[in-house]
Amino acid sequence: MKTYRSFYQPLAIGAPAPFREPPVALERMIHFVPPHLEKIRAKIPQLINQVDVILGNLEDAIPADQKEAARQGFIEMAKANDFGSTKLWTRINSLESPWVLDDLTEIVTQCGNKLDVIMLPKVNGPWDIHFLDQLLAQLEAKSGIKKPILIHAILETAEGVNNIEAIAASSPRMHGMSLGPADLAASRGMKTTRVGGGHPEYKVLADSAINSQRTGYQQDLWHYTIGKMVDACMAHGIKAFYGPFGDFSDPEACEVQFRNAFLMGCVGTWSLHPSQVAIAKRVFSPDVEETKFARKILEAMPDGTGAVMIDGKMQDDATWKQAKVICDLADLVCEKDPELAQAYQG
């Protein structure tokens, strides 16, 4: 662990100074695209205005013989487009892979000034972040990068979950973390082939003394891990995200899983299919009526202290903080979505 005096010092001569406060950004959905496909790259200009984050995926779901094409496709995609307020990310290959060094050296040196975040898969501990942190500083210095590239860790190993606090505190480059349920399930020895979401056999039964039919109620396989991730991220001032929901044929279950994560403190999720963009936008934008009520609380308690009655409900310092969270998010949404802006202010 670095000392507090050196924590915000650049790790290479000529590298940009780390952010002392992470940039404020709306990131309701991280939309994954396979950059080795030319027809997908051709759709990027239209996609930019529809999503909050575009991520060029180089890792899982990219065939081994297409890794280099995906890397070059991402570089071409980055150079060819003006992303405006939409953030540009990439998920590189894991640190033990044979492609990761070229992923980093080629992408950072050729389009690093356009890149906001690197998503690092299969993070086991702070040592993985420290390695990438140092290497990025060297590449930034070599390439004249003007702002630091942030790191987003995927929690997809039991070791990573065990080291979650140390990962969250490992570097000022830390942007946040995402749940990686498929690899995490395998790492834990969980008996499921589903990618995110629940499982019909993970349930509790109604008490036999109360309900002779013994009705079963499905539980959430990921509740513990999401809660642990949110606590670690919020304690260290970074962001928590739900990860993939793999069943594109079940939008209702997808929305419920996303909403559970949103209510627990996640700020966004992954969208792997165009149909999930609208779901993520709906779920990770605050409810219109709740936002209007939250604004009433802030207006009635301008300095955030005291207690007032609003619509028959008592509000105090603690509920003012809750209202502030909702209103701050709504303000970010208003900057991106004119339709929602009109609804929030109507």
Residue 268 DSSP code: B
Residue 203 banded pLDDT, cuts 50, 70, 90: confident
Residue 164 pLDDT > 90, yes or no? yes
Provide the pLDDT for residue 211. Answer: 65
Q: How far apart are CA 324 and CA 311, in angstroms?
A: 18
Provide the pLDDT for residue 5. Answer: 85
Residue reference for tokens 């020895």? 189
- Average the pLDDT over each of 62-71, 210-219, 294-303, 322-331 and give the range with the smallest value: 210-219
Provide the pLDDT for residue 144. Answer: 96
User: If you average pLDDT over residues 54-60, what whole number do you get?
Assistant: 97
Residue 200 pLDDT > 90, yes or no? no
User: If you average pLDDT over residues 115-137, what whole number do you get?
Assistant: 98
Q: State the DSSP string of 131-163.
A: HHHHHHHHHHHHHT-SSPPEEEEEE-SHHHHHT
Residue 128 banded pLDDT, cuts 50, 70, 90: very high
Helices (H), the chain: 38-41, 44-47, 67-80, 100-111, 126-143, 158-162, 164-168, 181-188, 223-235, 251-264, 274-283, 288-300, 317-336, 338-345
What does residue 304 show for φ and ψ, rounded to 5 degrees?
75, 15
Residue 53 pLDDT > 90, yes or no? yes
Distances from the Cα of 68 to the Cαs of 11, 44, 72, 104, in angstroms?
29, 20, 6, 12
**pLDDT tens figures, 258-292:** 999 999 999 999 999 999 999 999 999 999 999 99
Residue 341 banded pLDDT, cuts 50, 70, 90: confident
Of 122, 80, 73, 116, the residue nearest 97 (C-alpha):
122
Provide the pLDDT for residue 207. Answer: 80
Provide the pLDDT for residue 54. Answer: 98
Provide the pLDDT for residue 244. Answer: 95
Residue type, 298: L
Tokens of 98: 């044979």
Provide the pLDDT for residue 3. Answer: 82
Provide the CA 36 distance to its chain's centre, in angstroms.
Answer: 23
Name the residue with higher pLDDT: 272 or 202: 272
Residue 156 pLDDT > 80, yes or no? yes
User: If you average pLDDT over residues 131-151, what whole number do you get?
Assistant: 97
For the whole model, what pTM was predicted? Answer: 0.93
Instruction: Give the 3-state secondary structure percentages of the chain, helix then strand then coil, rounded to 5.
Output: 45, 15, 40
Provide the pLDDT for residue 346. Answer: 65
Residue 43: CB atoms within 10 Å? 13
Name the residue with higher pLDDT: 40 or 213: 40
Provide the pLDDT for residue 2. Answer: 75
Tokens of 222: 């990921």
Residue 73 pLDDT > 90, yes or no? yes
Of 164, 149, 137, the residue nearest 111 (C-alpha):
149
Distances from the Cα of 168 to the Cαs of 71, 130, 240, 258, in angstroms?
27, 12, 10, 22
* For the chain, percent of residues with pLDDT exceeding 90: 81
Provide the pLDDT for residue 344. Answer: 85
**pLDDT tens figures, 206-222:** 887 776 777 888 888 88
- Average the pLDDT over each of 128-132, 280-284, 297-301 and give the range with the smallest value: 297-301
Q: How far apart are CA 144 and CA 196, in angstroms?
A: 40
User: Positive or negative CA dihedral for 234, 162, 122, 218?
Assistant: negative
Of 104, 128, 123, 126, the residue nearest 115 (C-alpha):
104
User: If you average pLDDT over residues 217-238, what whole number do you get?
Assistant: 93
H/E segment holding residue 57: strand 53-57
Provide the pLDDT for residue 116. Answer: 98
Residue 241 pLDDT > 70, yes or no? yes
Average pLDDT, the chain: 93
Of 180, 225, 217, the residue nearest 200 (C-alpha):
217
With beta carbons less than 8 A apart as the criterion, state whether 129 and 169 touch. Answer: no
160-183 core/surface letters (b: 16 or more CB in 10 A; e: else): bbebbeebbbbbbbbbbbbbbbbb
Tokens of 152: 């987003």
